[in-house]
């Protein structure tokens, strides 16, 4: 697979998000693409690129344990983003 074929245009990302929502019966607010992408960016820049995927997973896990509401998702993302912004090696 070439690097170019692994880069999604916005409409393809939207289609992927829609497929995930349909498959797992998720509402749009339960899969906030922009929020998760911002989290990944902040962690990648503040900590390291490899930290982004598992930080997003951790946000989902934490949000799920808290109840899984859109507010729980936003709270978990906010905490992890703050940690990444304050991270010093």
Q: Are 31 and 13 in contact (CB under 8 A)?
A: no
pTM of the shown model: 0.85
- The secondary structure of the chain in percent helix, strand, coil, rounded to multiples of 5, reads 75, 0, 25
**Which tens digit of pLDDT belongs to each residue from 3-39?**
556 677 878 899 999 999 999 999 999 999 999 999 9
Q: Residue 2: is its pLDDT beyond 90?
A: no
Q: What is the pLDDT of residue 3?
A: 54
């Amino acid at each position: 697979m070439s690097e170019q074929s692994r880069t999604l245009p916005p409409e393809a990302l939207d289609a992927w998000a829609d497929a995930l929502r349909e498959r797992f019966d998720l509402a749009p607010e339960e899969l906030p693409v922009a929020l998760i992408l911002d989290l990944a960016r902040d962690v990648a820049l503040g900590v390291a690129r490899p930290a982004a995927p598992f930080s997003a997973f951790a946000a989902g896990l934490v949000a799920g344990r808290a109840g899984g509401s859109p507010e729980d998702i936003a709270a978990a993302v906010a905490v992890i983003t703050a940690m990444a912004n304050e991270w010093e090696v």
